[in-house]
Amino acid sequence: MPLPLDLHGIPELRVMRQLAEALVYEGLVDCAVSRGGGKARFEWRCGGASIRCQGSIGAFGRVRVVAETIERGCDDQWRPATLGDLLASIDTCPERRAQLTSELDRTLDFSAWNERNLLPRPRRDLPFAQLDSAIDEGHPYHPCFKARTGFDYADHAAYGPEAGNAFQLAWLAVAPERLHSAFPTDEQAFWMHELGAEAYALLYGRRARLGDNARRFGLMPLHPWQWKMLQGSELSRWLAEGSAGFLGQAGDRYTASQSVRTLFNRDHPRRANLKLPMNLVNSSARRIIEPHSVCSAPSISRWLKDIVASDPLFEARYPLTILAEYAGTIADREGPLAGQIAAIWREDVTSSLQPGETAVPLNALMALESDGRPFVADWIDEYG
């Protein structure tokens, strides 16, 4: 669904709007601003030409641009600006401009794919995980809100949240000297609890077939796309020398959340969300996991939970629930694969709900639905 500022439903106009807003707000162009009547006009130079647009400046100096007003002018002759015009106005090296251009093009490509393949549907009554995946608007500020550099169309359909497809995880057995883990119980009990008896037996049976030495190896889940991307990497050497073994796909099926790398359990929705690294660039950030955060996450979660539990106001007057990241494991923490093979388990929000409660992602509150009304319209009608 379009954002409230993009009812035109044209992906290129949205990308141009958000790029223009970012250029002005981040100070990446030398922009002259004039204000009056609650509105603002922005203008900056682009070589021998000028770029201008209209909009407003809101809280915290946040710039809002009306996409249809973005124009390029030269010698008092103005025309609608193009994405190329905006890119040309950025003072940066050719390599950075090419990278940004590529990310913007991919955002347009995947936005167009969504328009062609996904039908608008009511979202207000969806369960949390399905609702989260169905919020396809993307980042409301970053212009590369759906770049997913590294995905092709098949990957976008299989592993993007919008299509809602479910998939099993790929699994490795990894030599213990390559692993660092923080589990809440002993390792065997942890895997039995997370996997269930059937998947646990299947993976341990596959591990046993790798040989006697592999019986001491630890399990490691991988996003199936990440397994494909790591072919030819340092992992291939591990597999060849026998310090890791591939166990195939197994266990519960998962679907992608809005963040793509954090997954919801489709088969057992109350089981943990799983954050897995991906060598994917989205919103200009590589979506691996910072190595230092994997084993520290459980300690930080316990600390935060203890703070909440020690304050009676959080229990009675200001109810606050911390979704703990209660377990983590990482391979090659300080080596060439650092941050690329890891997992963090986080409590699912539905496991903490009280009778009669439901949960929605925060960014649903600003969404427009297929009936043209805000997502929150029924709540406002009932509660004011």
| Domains of the chain, start order | 4-91 (3.30.310.280), 153-352 (no CATH)
- What's the confidence (pLDDT) of residue 4? 67
- What's the confidence (pLDDT) of residue 119? 86
- Please count the CA atoms within 13 angstroms of the CA of 178 that sit on its side-chain side: 27
- Name residue 250's beta-bridge partners: 169
Four-residue CA torsion sign, 253, 257, 263, 265: negative
Number of Cβ within a 10 Å radius of residue 108: 17
pTM reported for the whole predicted model: 0.93
- Name residue 182's beta-bridge partners: 328
- What's the confidence (pLDDT) of residue 6? 67
CA distance 364 to 204: 41
Mean pLDDT by 10 residues, the chain (384 residues): 68 96 96 94 94 96 96 94 96 93 96 91 93 93 95 97 97 98 97 97 96 93 98 96 97 97 97 98 93 98 96 92 97 98 98 92 92 93 90
- What's the confidence (pLDDT) of residue 64? 96
- What's the confidence (pLDDT) of residue 1? 66
